[in-house]
Amino acid sequence: MPAPIRLRELIRTIRTARTQAEEREMIQKECAAIRSSFREEDNTYRCRNVAKLLYMHMLGYPAHFGQLECLKLIASQKFTDKRIGYLGAMLLLDERQDVHLLMTNCIKNDLNHSTQYVQGLALCTLGCMGSSEMCRDLAGEVEKLLKTSNSYLRKKAALCAVHVIRKVPELMEMFLPATKNLLSEKNHGVLHTSVVLLTEMCERSPDMLAHFRKLVPQLVRILKNLIMSGYSPEHDVSGISDPFLQVRILRLLRILGKNDDDSSEAMNDILAQVATNTETSKNVGNAILYETVLTIMDIKSESGLRVLAINILGRFLLNNDKNIRYVALTSLLKTVQTDHNAVQRHRSTIVDCLKDLDVSIKRRAMELSFALVNGNNIRGMMKELLYFLDSCDPEFKADCASGVFLAAEKYAPSKRWHIDTIMRVLTTAGSYVRDDSVPNLIQLITNSVEMHAYTVQRLYKALLDDISQQPLVQVASWCIGEYGDLLVSGQCEEEEPIQVTEDEVLDVLEGLLVSNLSTPVTRGYSLTAIMKLSTRFSSVNRIKKVVSIYGSSIDVELQQRAVEYNALFKKYDHMRPALLERMPIMEKTASNGPTEIVQTNGETEPSTVEAKHPPPVTQPTNQANDLLDLLGGNDVVPVIQTTIPTKPASAGGELLDLLGDLSLSGGPAPAPAPSVPTSQPPFLLDGLTSQPLFNDIAAAGIPSMTAYNKNGLKIDFTFERANPNPNIAVITIHATNSTEAEMTDFVFQAAVPKTFQLQLLSPSSNVVPALNQGTVTQVIRVLNPQKQQLRMRIKLTYTHKGSAVQDLAEVNNFPPQSWQ
């Protein structure tokens, strides 16, 4: 057999390939040759072949068949073989394959080799890819090498020790004796790696941290020598002596000085010295300054020093180098909580960074700008941020919009300003805002009674300009429906009233119903608005006509709505004014996170709680809930304490009659329990986002089930098919606890077979109260595209009476309706 071609020759040949296919062909041919050479156990060319394989691996071709050959090379006596073998092992093997364990013995031998470069290779490989088993086996050797006087091996051993500790933290103790003399070493490599090792140990163990605090004076001395000593060519980088070591020491000092007065005190002076003496014309000086600033911020430093640090960052902000500006923004963001006023001084510079062209910088500047908003500067800051929102890339809009909402909610100087700001966001970035912003704004508008006329007028004007921004159109429709009378009567005090007729308003709303730009949800809003106007406008006949047209709409949701409204006109006309009355003022809830939604679901789903105990909050028996639904979100307000006296108590029942025996349920939650019909509001006025009629019928039929009942912990499942995708089953779990002690740290986990997909939303709480005094609810969504029988494995962990409990259970008895 002829000698295989050389590595460089192969590289050269492959580079002549003009197409991907040609390259692939060459590689395949070569791979075949290499394989057969491997099979023949050819020792002479193994090294060459593996090297070639590594090149092909880099090009993205499979090379796993070289793994064992690497091991053979490592075991070879030749240094060349070992060098390539270890390199190949690092590239082709990793701890996920058991093959790597075969190296352990070779590495062990090589760690004790007589040539330091062989030892070095072994250390390097262990420190790069050693698995925990390997680390356990070889930690002794590493520890021995950490104590040698050979600095070449010592520095490598120190980093290897770091790797061992990362993999097997309990081995940390064994390196403790060897750390004793590490810092007295003169060699910078050893010094640097030792500091890394000490940092790792301090980070991982509070005991080590306490133990190593005594090293602070020594570290300070080393650092001082570094900055005071003159030019040393070996470690100099642009006039700075060993910046790598300086940064590492500063980092270790940061960890040692954190929450410790004495250590912080001991390093105050040197930090001030580094902060003032470091030359900042080059990146490397700034790297040190940056690390110094972080250390000053983290330890218990004197206030003067902190001001110095913030000012350094302020200087960074003005630097021409983008990297430095970025770093400044990142670190200011970290300190803005603790040193708010100091950061505030650099506000204008930070706001200027919003105009930077670089996305990394822009993002940081935006985050920092939001962090700097307060009651005093809200107007100015918002002006800048709204301008930014207007001009920024699409990727920023969503975050920026929610930032504006949050800040406006917190610091709005007036209601009018608040409404204006949100409307501004909706007009400039309407399609990017989160879904909950519509109900939030509606809620805000409802509650600002004196602003109704102004708002509806503004929104009406906005609608005339642009009907493409869906959230804005939805809010506007809702407001026009609600306050149409104020709009037409032109009673706006804040602004010049506009002259509109009822017909013009209806024209606009009908325009929304037919516009291609409108989403189905928007159309729903619009139809409901038209309906509401029937009690506020005189042109009832026109409204009747529109409503009846949509009784045959192809959009089920819209059709259902229209049919219901039609019935309201015909059979129940006497109730119409009461039903379409203006919304009551709502109580403000906290911002709507995902947890909130889940809680909402839990709250409107009272079956489990009610069955056992009277619920602490009485379920409103009137339409409060579904009126809220008119707001368009499940996530608006879960509970209204006030009852609305104008609603006839019988309305609920009658409306149920109206809809015949469809046994509808309102509310977003599953409705399994026939025991609570009175609290289940009629669907008639149900909001736009609740389920369409038909799914509800389906859902109503799914019985609930008990999935787990052991040791006093009972878990019930209730079901609901989500729309619009009937393949998704929404399961709400209700955990109750009948023992006399509460269960804390309650975690429910579930797993399903691979054909399903499962999503667990956050639980309402992690404490299950004792004596059935409350429920923890959590929503699981299961995607079941193949409609297979549901199976689920659940894992429960909680702490009960001080001891941790863990249990597994399999749930197989799902009702067929939940998955068919």
Partner 1 sequence: MVEVRLLISSDGNTVQLFMMQFMLLFSRQGKLRLQKWYVPLSDKEKKKITRELVQTVLARKPKMCSFLEWRDLKIVYKRYASLYFCCAIEDQDNELITLEIIHRYVELLDKYFGSVCELDIIFNFEKAYFILDEFLLGGEAQETSKKNVLKAIEQADLLQEGILGKTPHNMSPALVTATPSEYKWFQVGVERRKLKRQQLPELYCPNEVRTF
- State which of positions 190-219 bind partner 1 (CB under 8 A): 192-193, 196, 199, 203-204
Closer CB to partner 1, 195 or 479, in the complex: 195
Judge whether 301 and 262 are in contact, CB under 8 Å.
Answer: no
Q: Which of 87, 89, 54 lies closest to 68 in space, CA to CA?
A: 89
Binder of partner 1 out of 32, 36, 43, 58 (CB under 8 A)? 58
Q: Specify whether the CB–CB gap between 539 and 506 falls below 8 A.
A: yes
Q: How far, in Å, CA of 417 to CA of 409, rounded?
A: 11
Among 9-17, 29-37, 574-582, 744-752, the segment contacting partner 1 (CB under 8 A): 9-17
- Is residue 793 a contact partner of residue 810, using CB atoms and an 8 Å limit? yes
Distance CA 151, CA 191 (A): 10
Nearer to partner 1, 241 or 622 (CB): 241
Query: CA nearest 708: which of 738, 729, 744?
Result: 738
Q: 676: burial class by Cβ within 10 Å (0-12, 13-18, 19+)?
A: middle
Nearest to 173 by CA among 129, 126, 140, 133: 140
- Measure the CA–CA gap between 373 and 315, rounded to whole angstroms: 21
> Does residue 59 belong to the site contacting partner 1 (CB under 8 A)?
yes
Total residues binding partner 1 (CB under 8 A): 85
Crossing angle of helices 46-58 and 20-39, in 10° steps, is: 150
Binding mask 62-101 for partner 1 (x = CB under 8 A): --x-------------xxx--xx--x--xx--xxx-----
* Residue nearer to partner 1 on the CB measure, 158 or 794: 158
Min separation Cβ 247 and partner 1, Å: 5
Which residue, 233 or 616, is less far from partner 1 as judged by CB? 233
Q: Which helix (H) or strand (E) holds 663?
A: none
Q: Which stretch binds partner 1 (CB under 8 A): 321-329, 394-402, 420-428, 442-450?
A: 321-329
Smaller CB separation from partner 1, 226 or 441: 226
Closer to partner 1 by Cβ: residue 118 or 780: 118
Q: Which is nearer to partner 1, 325 or 800 (CB)?
A: 325
Does 46 bind partner 1 (CB under 8 A)? Our answer is: no
* Closest CB to partner 1 among residues 8, 221: 8
Please, which residue, 152 or 417, has the CB nearer to partner 1? Answer: 152
Smallest gap from residue 715 Cβ to partner 1 (A): 25
Structural contact between residues 369 and 333, judged by C-beta atoms closer than 8 angstroms = no
Selected binder of partner 1 within 31, 34, 47, 422 (CB under 8 A): 47
CA torsion through residues 626, 631, 632, 634, sign: negative
CB of 193 to partner 1, least distance (A): 6
Here's the x/- map for partner 1, 100-139, by CB under 8 A: it reads as ---------------x-x--x--xx--xxx-x--------
The site string for partner 1 over 235-264 (x = CB under 8 A, - otherwise) reads x-x----xxxx-x---x-------------
Give the CB-side neighbour count of residue 286, counting CA atoms within 13 A: 21
- Is the CB of 186 or the CB of 574 nearer to partner 1? 186
Task: Give the type of residue at 1.
Answer: M
Q: Which stretch binds partner 1 (CB under 8 A): 325-333, 514-522, 664-672, 682-690?
A: 325-333
Nearer to partner 1, 1 or 357 (CB): 357
- Least CB distance from residue 760 to partner 1, whole Å? 17
Matching residue, tokens 């207007």: 390
Please choose, out of 286-294, 437-445, 519-527, 741-749, the segment that lies near partner 1 by the rule CB under 8 A.
286-294
Indicate which single residue of 1, 2, 39, 60 sits in contact with partner 1 (rule: CB under 8 A): 60
> In the chain, what are the helix, strand and coil shares in percent, each to the nearest 5?
60, 10, 30
- Residue from 27, 31, 38, 52 touching partner 1 (CB under 8 A): that is 52
Q: Which is nearer to partner 1, 201 or 419 (CB)?
A: 201
Distance of CA 580 to the CA centre of its chain: 40
Q: Which pair of tokens denotes residue 120?
A: 């070095």
Residue 487 within binding range of partner 1, rule CB under 8 A = no
H or E segment at 191? helix 188-204
Instruction: Return the residue matching tokens 């109750």.
Output: 736
Evaluate whether 71 touches 106 at the Cβ level (below 8 Å): yes
Q: Which two tokens stand for residue 352?
A: 């200027």
Q: How far apart are CA 799 and CA 787, in angstroms?
A: 36
Helices (H), 581-682: 594-603, 607-612, 624-629, 651-658
> Is-contact 413 396, C-beta < 8 A?
no
Position 152 contacts partner 1 (CB under 8 A): yes
User: Which residue stretch of 289-297, 690-698, 740-748, 804-812 sits at the interface with partner 1 (rule: CB under 8 A)?
Assistant: 289-297
Which CB sits closer to partner 1, 160 or 733? 160
For residue 639, the SS3 value is: coil
Of the pair 59, 318, the CB lying nearest partner 1 is at 59
Q: Is 584 among the residues that bind partner 1 (CB under 8 A)?
A: no
Binding segment toward partner 1, per CB under 8 A, in 45-53, 266-274, 492-500, 762-770: 45-53
* In the complex, minimum distance from the CB of residue 288 to partner 1, in angstroms, rounded to a whole number: 8
Give the phi and the psi of residue 171 in degrees, each rounded to 5.
-80, -5
Near partner 1 by CB under 8 A: residue from 38, 175, 212, 290: 290
Question: Least distance (Å) from partner 1 to the CB of residue 131?
Answer: 8
Cα radius of gyration rounded to whole Å, the chain? 35
CB 314 within 8 A of CB 331: no
Out of 109, 150, 280, 323, the only residue in the binding site for partner 1 (CB under 8 A) is 323
Residue that is written with structure tokens 């890394």 in the block = 196
- Rounded CA-CA distance 820/582 in Å is 42
In whole angstroms, how close is the CB of 199 to partner 1 at the nearest point? Answer: 7
Min dist CB 91 to partner 1, Å, is 8
Q: Residue 390: exposed, middle, or buried by beta-carbon count in 10 A (0-12, 13-18, 19+)?
A: middle
In whole angstroms, the minimum distance from the beta carbon of 781 to partner 1 comes to 19
Site membership for partner 1, residue 387 (CB under 8 A): no
Residues 737-756 within binding reach of partner 1 (CB under 8 A): none
Of 16-35, binders to partner 1 (CB under 8 A) are 16
Q: Which is nearer to partner 1, 205 or 711 (CB)?
A: 205
Site residues for partner 1, window 172-191 (CB under 8 A)?
A: 188-189
Query: Judged by CB, which is closer to partner 1: 89, or 492?
Result: 89
Residue 566 to residue 531: CA distance in whole angstroms: 9
554 in Cβ contact with 560 (< 8 Å): no
Determine, following the binding rule CB under 8 A, whether residue 393 of this chain makes contact with partner 1.
Answer: no
Closer CB to partner 1, 109 or 727, in the complex? 109
Helices then strands (H, E): number in the chain? 36, 10
* Segment 338 to 367, residues that bind partner 1, using CB under 8 A: 357-361, 363
Residues 797 and 763 sit within 8 Å (Cβ to Cβ): no
Contact flag: residue 12 with partner 1 (CB under 8 A) = yes
- CB-based contact 423:433 (threshold 8 Å): no
Residue 228 Cβ vs partner 1, minimum distance, rounded to whole Å? 18
Please identify which residue in 27, 31, 51, 779 interacts with partner 1, judged by CB under 8 A. Answer: 51
- Read off the tokens for 304: 């003067």
